[in-house]
Amino acid sequence: MIETPYLLYLGSSRDPLAVKTARGIMIWRPDSVVGEVVSAESEMTVGADRMTIEEGAKRGAKTLIIGYANSGGYIEESNLEDIVKALELGLNVASGLHHDLQENALIKEAAERQNCKLHNVRRSDKAFKVGTGTKRPGNRLLTVGTDCSVGKMFTSLAIQKEMEARGENADFRATGQTGIFIAGEGVPVDAVISDFISGSVESLSPAREDGGWDIIEGQGSLFHPAYAGVSLGLLHGAQPDHLILCHEANRAHMRHLPGRSVPELEDCIKANLWAAKVVNPEAHFSGIALNSRNLDKAEADRLCAQLEREFKLPCQDPMRHGVERIVDHVLI
Instruction: Provide the binding-site residues for a second copy, judged by CB under 8 A.
Output: 130-134, 189-195, 197-199, 222-223, 225-234, 236-237, 257, 260, 271, 274-275, 278-279
Q: Compute the C-alpha angle 11/12/18, nearest 5°.
A: 80
Give the nearest distance from C-beta 132 to a second copy in angstroms: 7
Handedness of CA 295, 297, 301, 302 (dihedral sign): negative
Instruction: Please classify residue 72 by burial: count the beta carbons closer than 10 Å to its beta carbon, then call 0-12 exposed, 13-18 middle and 19+ buried.
Output: exposed
Give the nearest distance from C-beta 133 to a second copy in angstroms: 3
Contact of 313 with 329, CB cutoff 8 Å: yes
Backbone angles phi, psi at 11, to 5 degrees: 60, -140
Q: Compute the C-alpha angle 221/17/68, nearest 5°.
A: 100
Give the nearest distance from C-beta 30 to a second copy in angstroms: 30
| Strand stretches in 22-138, DSSP E | 33-38, 63-66, 92-95, 118-120
Question: Which of residues 13 and 143 has its CB atom nearest to a second copy in the complex?
Answer: 143
Query: Residue 214 belongs to what H/E stretch?
Result: strand 213-216
Give the nearest distance from C-beta 128 to a second copy in angstroms: 11
Give the nearest distance from C-beta 260 to a second copy in angstroms: 7
If one counts every other C-beta atom within 10 angstroms of the C-beta of residue 257, the result is: 14
Which residues, at least 6 apart from 104, have a Cβ–Cβ distance to it below 8 Å? 75, 80
Give the nearest distance from C-beta 122 to a second copy in angstroms: 10
Cis bond leading into 225, ω under 30°?
no
Give the nearest distance from C-beta 74 to a second copy in angstroms: 15
- Which of 297, 287, 179 shows the shortest CA–CA distance to 249? 297
Handedness of CA 233, 234, 238, 244 (dihedral sign): negative
Give the nearest distance from C-beta 281 to a second copy in angstroms: 12
Question: Which of residues 109 and 264 has its CB atom nearest to a second copy in the complex?
Answer: 264
Could you give the 3-state DSSP secondary structure of residue 246? Answer: strand
Question: Which of residues 86 and 271 has its CB atom nearest to a second copy in the complex?
Answer: 271
Question: Which of residues 130 and 165 has its CB atom nearest to a second copy in the complex?
Answer: 130
Could you give the 3-state DSSP secondary structure of residue 253? Answer: coil
Question: Which of residues 234 and 265 has its CB atom nearest to a second copy in the complex?
Answer: 234
Give the nearest distance from C-beta 146 to a second copy in angstroms: 12
Question: Which of residues 56 and 176 has its CB atom nearest to a second copy in the complex?
Answer: 176
Q: For residues 210 and 213, give the distance between their C-alpha atoms in angstroms, rounded to a whole number.
A: 9
Question: Which of residues 53 and 197 has its CB atom nearest to a second copy in the complex?
Answer: 197
Question: Which of residues 92 and 219 has its CB atom nearest to a second copy in the complex?
Answer: 219
Question: Which of residues 93 and 279 has its CB atom nearest to a second copy in the complex?
Answer: 279
